[in-house]
Chains A and B, each alone.
Chain A
Amino acid sequence: MTPPLASFLQDANFIRVLYIVSFALFIYGMSGLTGPGTAVRGNRIAAGGMAIAVVATLLNRGTGNWGLIALGLGLGTAVGVPAARNVHMTAMPQMVALFNGVGGGAAALVSWVEFRDTGGFAHAIGSHAGEPTYVAVFSLFAAIVGSVSFWGSNIAFGKLQEILPGRPITLGRPQQVVNFALLAAAIALAVVIVAGSHSEILIIGLLVAAALLGNSMVLPIGGADMPVVISLLNAFTGLATGATGVALNNPALIVAGMIVGASGSILTGLMAEAMNRSIPNIVAGGFGGGGVTPGAVGAGEHEGTVRSTSAADAAIQLAYARQVIVVPGYGMAVAQAQHAVRELTKALEARGVNVEFAIHPVAGRMPGHMNVLLAEADVPYEQLKEMDAINPEFARTDVSLVIGANDVTNPAANTNPDSPIYGMPILHVDESHSIVVLKRSMNPGFAGIENELYYDPKTSMLFGDAKASVDAITSELGEL
């Protein structure tokens, strides 16, 4: 005889109500992310919703195998907590890619087990009564998309972590054919399963085809496009989660999955727009890190020469400016220079120089990546200006200090119709009175394109590690 409290807690309706509470908290929490003041609380509210959803699931009558549940939760915590605690802010994009990948992997594995539990979707699982055909359709969708997301995210992680080369790895023209063939194979296997074949080899084949597709989809994409890819794969995992929710008849999964699917799609669209590229064009790959034919870019055709400068000269230029705009890019992230940059801007402000930051939407390896880094270094939120707000300011600016940013400052995007980035909205750095570029070498950026800005007579280049250069300028400033 079950005690009354336990039977109340295990009541299917009570559990459903808990799910409703949990997804309401997700939505409420996410809406807190609209401002920096409420964002921390919003994220914690969403985490609270997640805790409620987990508890509700554990209350289910069918739940068992507690030892294995504890093992899984324990292992996940043991891996997740230190990873999240110790990751550098600069490595955030690959961390997100990794977390995203394991989520997709979990969705694919859950689908595989559903297949095994139901004898290949021949009957319903336990109390989860559901029409086997539609369970099969949604579950197999989750299997394909989750598997693509898992493998694709791992490749993206490898590229961002520089375990794999950032340049596109491609089969060339047949790449698209191969991708379509893999997708077609996965879908065909799914159709065969839904039509009533229950052989396990079918779902294994489906997972393998989707895994190969995940690899062959992301390998040809250059490092510069990785942010878009991660965002896209994030949306994929969301959709896989939503589909798993339909298959398992679980509203919390459906709502959470769809919110992620929607947000991932929005972000992907915004980023593609910021680069003036279409999503199919990005996924088609081959762009970035040397994939561009040099002839079209006009590399080496520049008449002008590059003028290099010293830290002392740059310090003088900055010290006597009235307005300085700092343009940070991935180079700042790589060199971990954000704190040094903050010190430099403090020193300039102490001299009465008005300092602002120009943040391009795709600067760095993730949208908003620069904001995170600069916030880490305590740069006031108000000093970070988005592209449209800052662009009119450049013409009134004495010195633009470009730190490890490249393609987002390239005037060719406005002037050279032959350039692969023609039409991409850029920061109008070339309009300022003078420009100081901190850069490691003359190597082109991730897009593999020569930057005309460097040949501008107003531009001087300070070569070296961004952090070392910024530190040098700051100490020269102190001696003025």
Chain B
Amino acid sequence: MLVTNLTILVLAGFVGFAVISKVPNTLHTPLMSGTNAIHGIVVLGGLLLIGFSGNDVLNKILLVIAITFGTINVIGGFLVTDRMLEMFKRKPEPPPARAADDDEHPSP
């Protein structure tokens, strides 16, 4: 099992490098916040373990905090990235007026 997991680990690292190297500078802030949201997946760790935590009160407290943290990370991260990207999507109003201006005052 360890070997399988390590295989996944190494391959995922290369996939990550390959995908992310293509992202232009302009989108680096949304990229950072989007990947930031993705590592919130650690919330799954809390969800998996809480079923096994038995009657141990401290375990339960720690896991509820972990799930809360993870959820903040996931939901906050994706929402904030979405807000940022929406701004990029909004296309500039195609400016026929500007094109006319450019004709009147040709750039040097």
Contacts and interface: CB of A to CB of B under 8 A. Distances in A.
Interface of A: 23, 26-27, 30-31, 33-37, 39-40, 42-44, 46-47, 50, 53-54, 57-58, 60, 62-65, 68-69, 71-73, 75-77, 79-81, 83-85, 87, 89, 92, 95-96, 99-100, 102-103, 105-107, 109-110, 112-114, 116-117, 125-126, 128-131, 134, 146, 230-231, 234, 237-238, 240-242, 244-246, 248-264, 266-267, 270, 322-323, 349-350, 352-354, 359, 361, 366-369, 371-372, 375-376, 378-382, 384, 386, 396
Q: Which 5 A-B pairs have the closest CB atoms?
A: A76-B71, A72-B67, A262-B16, A352-B105, A80-B76
B71 A39 contact: no
A43 B82 contact: yes
B66 A72 contact: yes
A257 B35 CA distance: 9
Given A33-B27, A64-B51, A110-B42, 13 more contacts: A58-B47, A62-B52, A72-B66, A79-B72, A106-B73, A112-B62, A131-B1, A250-B44, A250-B45, A255-B15, A260-B16, A262-B20, A371-B29
Interface in B29-76: 29-53, 56, 58-60, 62-76
Contacts of A237: 36, 39, 42
Contact of B32 (A47, A245, A250, A366): A366
Contact of B51 (A35, A47, A65, A110): A65
A92 B13 CA distance: 27
Contacts of B1: 129-131, 249
B5 A33 contact: no
Contacts, number: 403
Given A76-B70, A103-B36, A254-B12, A380 B29 contact: no
29 contacts: A26-B38, A33-B23, A34-B22, A40-B82, A47-B82, A53-B41, A63-B51, A72-B63, A87-B80, A99-B37, A99-B73, A106-B73, A109-B69, A128-B48, A230-B32, A237-B42, A242-B12, A248-B45, A251-B8, A252-B41, A259-B19, A260-B35, A262-B13, A267-B28, A352-B105, A366-B29, A375-B90, A382-B92, A384-B26
A46 B78 contact: yes
Given A63-B48, A69-B67, A263 B20 contact: yes
Given A60-B48, A368-B26, A40 B89 contact: yes
B24 A34 contact: yes
Residue from A79, A234, A256 having most chain B Cβ neighbours under 10 A: A256
Contacts of A256: 38-39, 41
B8 A231 contact: no
Given A33-B27, A114-B49, A260-B39, A372 B69 contact: no
A368 B29 contact: yes
B39 A39 contact: no
Nearest to A133: B2
A259 B49 contact: no
B35 A264 contact: yes
A117 B32 contact: no
Contacts of B65: 72, 105-106, 109
Given A106-B42, A255-B12, A375-B87, A30 B29 contact: no
Residue from B6, B29, B83 having most chain A Cβ neighbours under 10 A: B29
Contacts of A77: 71, 75
A117 B59 contact: yes
A103 to B, nearest CB: 4
Given A103-B40, A252-B41, A96 B33 contact: yes
Contacts of A378: 90, 92
Nearest to A150: B69
Contacts of B67: 68-69, 71-73, 76, 106
B16 A76 contact: no
Nearest to A398: B108
A262 B17 contact: yes
Contacts of B87: 89, 372, 375-376
A240 B36 CA distance: 13
B79 A84 contact: yes
Given A54-B44, A259-B38, A376-B87, A103 B70 contact: yes
B39 A73 contact: no
A117 B76 contact: no
Contacts of B71: 72-73, 75-77, 80
A248 B50 CA distance: 13
A131 B16 contact: no
Given A103-B73, A255-B8, A371-B26, A267 B32 contact: yes
A76 B81 contact: no
B98 to A, nearest CB: 6
Contacts of A100: 36, 39, 73
Contacts of B48: 57, 60, 62-63, 128, 248, 250
Contacts of A44: 78, 82
A301 B105 CA distance: 43
Contacts of B80: 84, 87, 92, 95-96, 99
B28 to A, nearest CB: 4
Contacts of A251: 5, 8
B21 A103 contact: no
A455 to B, nearest CB: 28
Contacts of B41: 50, 53, 241, 252-253, 256-257
